Chain A
């Protein structure tokens, strides 16, 4: 029998992910495809890609096809610090592809925790990110980093604020040679340069990383910041896919604290991305905290290569003199053997396991 095609596999993943989030009590959040353009204008840098598809609604309002889901969810949730909303979504977003410079429809499944986000919530979201990756493949890695540590370390070693975005860019490239040059230009002590270099070279399981991190950052980053991070990652000590990697950075104007990215063997870029975004909440005049992630399902297609030998199991070619009822009945009977395509002439290039010719008098294989 013909195997499922990639689209079906993606649909199956959506179903499995929804089932996973349902089992943790997250509520499904269904939203409209459109959003007022003004929302993106105010938070332009939060968007992954520049460019939004816009149109004027019948009432004259400038609307957009959603390039992002998080902003809409934040806009529509209660501004409460003593309650929490746990939501998940499954939506299409419209973004400009970096390679083709044209708009693409991207299928996204994700979740958001908004409100009184505590350490348990953060751990739960990280666990759900790990379980989401498990649903995709058995060979995965979840990189986890902490932006507060990177920001505080830059402050303590005296990196001027104007240079910090450039430093973070070099960190994200694991570009130690240029980082050393840059620090030299900025007149930063060699001892501090070494600490920074060691931090971005750290990579491994929580168990391996925690002792190194504590000794490396002692006296340079607030003990509370390091302690909080270590206690959260130690909760994930049994998770084999966890990899602490400080080269993972995100926009510090929106994100803070823990950020993470999920990788699957066989897919060339991250398939899951998330983090704490308290700063975005603040920018949107919210006093509550938030954490969430999204899974980019369009990338999963690369995992499913069709190995099917045939396009269809049975090709039923009928003669124009055969009555429609007979064609329908014959095709229905054959469906127990597999998929049946009924046509009056053989389509060009089709690959089928078996061809059956149906004539008015009977059938000939």
Chain B
């Protein structure tokens, strides 16, 4: 029986782009394009099984071996620090992790800085490296309204075009790190399926460079 490569794809537009790259790299699975609510798709002939998962869960599926490989945003990898191999930067889904504040904001270094974010680990480490005392306010969404309502002084969040920030009268004051989609692999799976994984990585690398 052919070894199956289990792939966790992030649901949504990014996942569709990633699938197109995988298909071109020689791992097609036509049933994935059928318009239905199925989450698992298999192409036994090519030895690949895809499943759609929530983007922030890809790393968990891969770290725990339910998926051998997957594609996750660098933001998720920095936030959860999963024990996985990061084999390739796919150069898609590009954005940046940034600090934003209300227009005209001035950092009062005399006071503890209140930071609202979904990414507590990234924000914590960033300010720790700068020796700044902060109070992290963990939110799960609509981060942009925190400074407007006085809940926080700044926010740490993903910025793509900056349109949402502008509409809420906020602007980027510092960029923490550029973000893009990364190809990750479970460490143990890589030991036993390295041939297939290496083949896929090298084909994807050609597309990235191409």
Do A and B form a real pair? Answer: yes
Residues of A within 8 A of B (CB): 139, 141, 143, 173-178, 203, 243, 247, 263-265, 267-270
Q: A177-B89, A247-B85, A268-B188 are in contact. Are A203 and B63 (CB under 8 A)?
A: no
Q: Which residue of A lies closest to B77 (CB)?
A: A173
A243:B191 contact, CB within 8 angstroms = yes
Q: Can you name 12 A-B pairs with beta carbons within 8 Å?
A: A173-B84, A173-B85, A174-B85, A174-B87, A175-B86, A243-B191, A247-B85, A263-B191, A268-B64, A268-B189, A270-B187, A270-B188
Residues of B within 8 A of A (CB): 63-65, 83-89, 186-189, 191-192, 194
CA distance A21 to B58 in the complex (A): 40
For A264, the chain B residues whose CB sits under 8 A away are 188
Q: A177-B88, A177-B89 are in contact. Are A269 and B83 (CB under 8 A)?
A: yes
CA distance A174 to B89 in the complex (A): 12
For B87, the chain A residues whose CB sits under 8 A away are 174-176
Q: What is the minimal beta-carbon distance from B74 to any residue of chain A, in angstroms?
A: 9
Q: What is the minimal beta-carbon distance from B209 to any residue of chain A, in angstroms?
A: 11
CA distance A139 to B192 in the complex (A): 8
Q: What is the minimal beta-carbon distance from A176 to any residue of chain B, in angstroms?
A: 8
CA distance A177 to B182 in the complex (A): 10
A-B contact count (CB 8 A): 42
CA distance A243 to B187 in the complex (A): 13
Instruction: Please tell me which one of the listed residues B63, B86, B188 contacts residue A263 in the complex, with CB atoms under 8 A apart.
Output: B188
B86:A174 contact, CB within 8 angstroms = yes
A268:B63 contact, CB within 8 angstroms = yes
Q: A267-B65, A268-B63 are in contact. Are A178 and B187 (CB under 8 A)?
A: no
Q: A174-B85, A267-B65 are in contact. Are A143 and B191 (CB under 8 A)?
A: yes
Which 4 pairs across A and B sit closest by C-beta, in order of nearness? Answer: A268-B65, A141-B191, A177-B89, A175-B86
B191:A178 contact, CB within 8 angstroms = no
CA distance A141 to B192 in the complex (A): 8
Q: Which residue of A lies closest to B85 (CB)?
A: A174
For A175, the chain B residues whose CB sits under 8 A away are 85-87
For B83, the chain A residues whose CB sits under 8 A away are 269
B192:A178 contact, CB within 8 angstroms = no
CA distance A120 to B167 in the complex (A): 69
A269:B187 contact, CB within 8 angstroms = yes
CA distance A270 to B189 in the complex (A): 11
Q: Which residue of B lies closest to A204 (CB)?
A: B194
Q: A268-B188, A269-B187 are in contact. Are A203 and B85 (CB under 8 A)?
A: no
For A139, the chain B residues whose CB sits under 8 A away are 192
Q: What is the minimal beta-carbon distance from A318 to any residue of chain B, in angstroms?
A: 45
Q: What is the minimal beta-carbon distance from A237 to any residue of chain B, in angstroms?
A: 19
For B64, the chain A residues whose CB sits under 8 A away are 268
A267:B89 contact, CB within 8 angstroms = no
Q: What is the minimal beta-carbon distance from A341 to any residue of chain B, in angstroms?
A: 35
Assuming A174-B87, A203-B194, what are 8 further A-B pairs, CB within 8 angstroms?
A: A141-B192, A173-B84, A175-B87, A243-B191, A247-B85, A263-B192, A267-B65, A268-B65
For B65, the chain A residues whose CB sits under 8 A away are 267-269
CA distance A362 to B191 in the complex (A): 61
CA distance A59 to B64 in the complex (A): 43
